[in-house]
Amino acid sequence: MTTSNRDVETAAAPQAAPPERPSNFIRDIILEDLKINKYNGRVQTRFPPEPNGYLHIGHAKSICLNFGLAAEFGGHTNLRFDDTNPEKEEQEYVDSIIADVRWLGFEWDGLYYASDYFDQLHEWAVQLIQAVKAYVCDLTAEEVRQYRGSLTEPGKESPYRDRSVAENLDLFARMRAGEFPDGSRTLRAKIDMASPNLNLRDPVMYRILHAEHHRTGDKWCIYPMYDFAHGQSDSIERITHSICTLEFEDHRPLYNWFIEQLGIFPSQQIEFDRLNLTYTLLSKRKLLQLVREGRVRGWDDPRMPTLSGIRRRGYTPQAIRNFCAAIGASKTNGSIELAMLEHFVREDLNKRTLRAMAVLRPLRVVIDNYPEGQVEDLEAVNNPEDAGAGTRKVPFSRVLYIEQDDFREDPPRHFFRLSPGREVRLRGGYFIMCTDVVKDEQTVVEVHCTYDPETRRGNAPDNRKVKATIHWVSAEHAINAEVRLYENLFTTEDPSNVPEGQEFTANLNPNSLEVLTNAKLEPSLASAKPGDRYQFERLGYFSADLDSKPGALVFNRTVPLRDTWAKIEKRDRAK
């Protein structure tokens, strides 16, 4: 091969046409705000991950929306770590998130941490105490829950609700100073225990947590709750459009309440639908469980829906961006077919990958009438989608490997590949005819053929036709490789749906990984480096795995060729 896959990606890659833009109600809101000059024509967004796990494809949707919308209107996007739960957060996750956002192709304007704002948040909490809008409460977490009431019943006021400002200031200072044990007291907003919105029933603003924080160390033993940190962080960064997923819709009144009480920059929260994918779980907590229990090899296992997993599997950032653009954003939660994501992966890989021949489950073929010791170089096209990708030479000789699946001693109807007495075309070259088989017990271990020297260019001078073209690798020139094939990690469309008393892990697919250790590759693949992507003819798209070493290559199947999504689309159109 003359060009490496890397070059193809950066230089010669045919640029993907900008994906069609489906309607996106957030864009409409921004357009409206620009029209009325709400934020002086400014658009500022942020992507706010909690560093408690690796990013997954659901986060990619949020990233594409935040960065994409800001870019569209000449705005800016911050990356902000929402690090208010010290017990679950780690530097490893911060590092992986930074790498993943960059890999997706985005660069932030400011990099911030909610923990950067702990002093400011604390000051604002004191301010709310002084304004009689917050109080220290001694109820336990369980009691707070009981007092909160339910959707049908109003809550009950805490007996500590009417403490004096002085007492609250004193207790809050002592909470901060570390005088009280974890869980013994909280600071709560004084709003309305009868509000129909449970989030407004005196929500907790601060809790006591004697925990080491990955950035602030042991400086704090009280930590703000999400609701008291998020909106205020938005406001500090002068975020105009704070977009988040629908489960926060009920929190918006509280988001606005804090901003109004403090009189700070009026960021606005807009909620969109969370991405759900069939056969996939998008929850860091559950993905962490799979890692901890060793159900997968790690966060970057190619079966994982994490960005590091799908990167390792061979998905391209462009394919993910195209997918996210196509799904848009809406106000109702639904589920997207995994086949649709795979469709975008194929579409992108088809344009950018070099073709190669590889045999996953080899069967020896001896061409009896081909001269011993002779080697010919057959010319093969590197990428029919990209004339600039050129051609390469593939060695052909007397002994080849073909796919076991491409031979049947006793072919069923509609099987047109090789079988005794049948002639097929070898990809890029000759016609061969099967004349004999060698068996070990019941198993065919070798096939004997003759070839027709007149068919070197893949056609017969007498115009006789063959019904199948199969791929092959010259045995003498083949390089050995390990190939890992993947199926969906879960067997059910909605893996979170489990019978009573069972865990979601009951839905794991026991066949999600198949390792083939005897694959045979054409010699041009010898130089493949981890991350290089190819189309193995007739088999699918493959990517050299991180475990690859020179002389011991490992490939992941990114996705097979068959495009079920195109079929679904066609079926739906026909309806």
What part of residues 262-281 is at the interface with ligand ATP (CB under 6 A)? Answer: 274-275
Positions of E strands within 96-155: 111-113, 134-137
CA distance 59 to 282: 9
* The entry of Mg ion, ligand ATP, none that residue 8 binds, CB within 5 to 8 Å by partner kind: none
Binding flag, residue 547, Mg ion (CB under 5 A): no
Binding flag, residue 59, ligand ATP (CB under 6 A): yes
Binding flag, residue 50, Mg ion (CB under 5 A): yes
Nearest approach, Cβ of residue 48 and Mg ion (Å): 9
* The entry of Mg ion, ligand ATP, none that residue 404 binds, CB within 5 to 8 Å by partner kind: none
Structure-token match 């704002």, residue found: 117
Residue of minimal Cβ distance to ligand ATP? 58
Nearest approach, Cβ of residue 241 and ligand ATP (Å): 12
Nearest approach, Cβ of residue 490 and ligand ATP (Å): 16
Binding flag, residue 434, ligand ATP (CB under 6 A): no
Nearest approach, Cβ of residue 49 and ligand ATP (Å): 4
Query: Which DSSP letter does residue 11 get?
Result: I
Binding flag, residue 487, Mg ion (CB under 5 A): no
Tell me, residue by residue from 231 to 250, as one string, x for binding to ligand ATP by CB under 6 A and - for no binding.
Answer: -------------xx-----
For residue 64, CA distances in Å to 20, 24, 28, 225 come to 15, 12, 16, 27
Binding flag, residue 88, ligand ATP (CB under 6 A): no
Binding flag, residue 409, Mg ion (CB under 5 A): no
Task: Give the SS3 label for residue 503.
Answer: coil
15: burial class by Cβ within 10 Å (0-12, 13-18, 19+)?
Answer: exposed
> Looking at beta carbons only, is 50 or 493 nearer to Mg ion?
50
84: burial class by Cβ within 10 Å (0-12, 13-18, 19+)?
Answer: buried
Q: Which residues pair with 241 in a beta bridge?
A: 268
> Looking at beta carbons only, is 65 or 367 nearer to Mg ion?
65
* The entry of Mg ion, ligand ATP, none that residue 245 binds, CB within 5 to 8 Å by partner kind: ligand ATP
Q: Parallel, antiparallel, or unpaired for β 431-440 and 423-426?
A: antiparallel
Residue of minimal Cβ distance to Mg ion? 50
Tell me, residue by residue from 15 to 54, as one string, x for binding to ligand ATP by CB under 6 A and - for no binding.
Answer: ---------------------------------xxx----
> Looking at beta carbons only, is 283 or 459 nearer to ligand ATP?
283
Helix and strand numbers (H, E) in the chain are: 14, 25
Written as six digits, the tokens of 69 are 């919308």
Q: Which residues are catalytic?
A: 50, 274, 284
Written as six digits, the tokens of 274 are 């969370």
CA distance 350 to 535: 8
Nearest approach, Cβ of residue 276 and ligand ATP (Å): 7
DSSP letter string, 375-418: -EEEEEES-TT-GGG-EEEEEE-SEEEEEGGGB-SSPPTT--SB
> Looking at beta carbons only, is 48 or 68 nearer to ligand ATP?
48
Counting Cα atoms < 13 Å in the Cβ hemisphere of 425 gives: 17
CA distance 400 to 144: 73
Nearest approach, Cβ of residue 239 and ligand ATP (Å): 12
CA distance 5 to 12: 10
> Looking at beta carbons only, is 329 or 485 nearer to ligand ATP?
329
> Looking at beta carbons only, is 226 or 265 nearer to Mg ion?
226
Binding flag, residue 283, ligand ATP (CB under 6 A): yes
* The entry of Mg ion, ligand ATP, none that residue 155 binds, CB within 5 to 8 Å by partner kind: none
Torsion of CA 285, 287, 288, 294, to 10 degrees: 150
Select from 5, 44, 45, 62 the one that contacts ligand ATP (CB under 6 A): 62
* The entry of ligand ATP, Mg ion, none that residue 284 binds, CB within 5 to 8 Å by partner kind: ligand ATP
Nearest approach, Cβ of residue 96 and Mg ion (Å): 16
Q: How many CB atoms are closer than 10 A to CB 202?
A: 24
For 555, residues 6+ apart whose C-beta sits below 8 A from its C-beta are 358, 481, 482, 483, 484, 519, 528, 536, 542, 543, 544, 545, 548
Positions touching ligand ATP (CB under 6 A) are: 48-50, 58-59, 61-62, 82, 244-245, 274-275, 282-284
Residues at the site binding Mg ion, with contacts judged by CB under 5 A: 50
